[in-house]
Amino acid sequence: MNQILRPSDARGDADFGWLKSKHTFSFGSYFDPNYIGFGALRVINEDRVAPTAGFPSHPHQNMEIISYVVSGALEHKDSIGTGSVIRPGELQRMSAGTGVRHSEYNHSSTDPVHFLQIWIVPEADGLAPGYEQKAFPDVERQNALRLIGSRDGRDGSVVIHQDVDLYASLLDADKSLSFDIRKDRKVWIQVVKGRLTVGGQALGAGDGLGLLDAGAVSLSAQEPAEFLLFDLAA
C-alpha cells in the first residue's frame, strides 16, 4: 500500500519553556517542503502547556481550528463571545472564516495540559466565524471508530466545513478494527498514545501515517492505543 510515514521523532520541535510542541507538518518557524500538509489537513501540533500558561489573544482567518485534549483542561475565549473549558473526550471546532481572535490557556494552576491542535483548510473562504464543542465519552470510542467530526455533522459529530470525516478510537491491546478507504479518498492516522499496527506498519505515540490507496486497511493495537483517523478527499 502506498503510504507516507511520519515518525514522531522526525517532527518539527518548538520549546518555549511554557510550551513544548511537536509539529507533524510545517508550522511557524519550522518548514519542511516535504511536509506542508496532507490534502485539506494542514496542521497537527501536539502541544504541552505549563500550568496557568497559554496563548494570548491572537487572530485567525479562513481556517477550521480543532482542539482535541489528551489530558488536563484547556480554556478557550474568543471574539465571537464564546468561552469554554475543553477536557479529554471533547472536541472543539472554531471556524475562523472572515476573522476571529481567540486565546487558549491551561485551565489548571497545578497540572499541564496536553492537546492536539488541528487545522483544516475550509471548503471556501469568507465563511462566518463559528464555534462548536461536543463530548464523546470513552464508551463510544472504545474498540470502535467513533465519528467525531464531519462536513454534515451526522451521528452527532462536530461540523467541519470541509469534505473530511474525523474518527477517534480507544483500542484495547490485541483488539483490531478495519477501515475501508474509498476510491478518490486518502487517510491520515495520528497515534496519540500506545502502539498500533496499520496495514503491517508499526506505529507508536506521536507517529503519523498517510495511506494513499483505496481498499480495506487493518488497525490493531499491541497495547492500549488512542488515535485519530482523518478520511479526506484525495
**Residue 170 contacts residue 153 (beta carbons within 8 Å):** no
User: How far is Cα 202 from Cα 135, in angstroms, rounded to an integer?
Assistant: 30
Instruction: Tell me the per-residue pLDDT of 126-138, one tens digit each, with 9 for 90 and over.
Output: 999 999 999 999 9
Residue 74 has pLDDT above 90, yes or no: yes
Q: Is the pLDDT of residue 66 over 80?
A: yes
Answer for the pair 208, 44: CB distance below 8 angstroms, yes or no.
yes
- Round the average pLDDT of the chain to a whole number and report it: 97
Distance CA 181, CA 190 (A): 16
Please state, in angstroms and as integers, the Cα–Cα distance from residue 230 to each residue in 38, 92, 121, 189, following that order.
Answer: 10, 16, 13, 6
- Is the separation of the CB atoms in 134 and 158 below 8 Å? yes
User: Which among 145, 195, 199 is positioned nearest to 167, based on CA atoms?
Assistant: 145
Q: What is the sign, positive or negative, of the torsion defined by CA atoms of 95, 98, 99, 100?
A: negative
Of 91, 96, 112, give the one whose Cα is nearest residue 58: 96
pLDDT tens-digit map of 156-208? 999 999 999 999 999 999 999 999 999 999 999 999 999 999 999 999 999 99
Q: How does residue 1 score in pLDDT terms, banded at 50, 70 and 90?
A: confident
CA 58 – CA 99 distance, rounded (Å): 10
Structural domains of the chain ordered from first start = 3-233 (2.60.120.10)
| Cell numbers given for 120 | 483544516
Q: Which three cell numbers stand for residue 140?
A: 463510544
Can you read off the three cell numbers belonging to residue 80? Answer: 465571537
- Residue keyed to cell 470502535: 144
123 has a pLDDT exceeding 80: yes
What pLDDT, on the 0 to 100 scale, is given for residue 29? 94
Task: Please name the residues in contact with 16: beta carbons below 8 A apart, sequence gap of 6 or more.
Answer: none
Euclidean distance between CA atoms 24 and 179, whole angstroms: 23
Read off the pLDDT of each residue in 95-115 and give the average, rounded to a whole number.
Answer: 96
Lowest mean pLDDT among 39-43, 75-79, 182-186: 75-79
Mean pLDDT confidence for 39-68: 97
pLDDT of residue 117: 98
Q: Which amino acid is at 233?
A: A
pLDDT score, position 82:
87
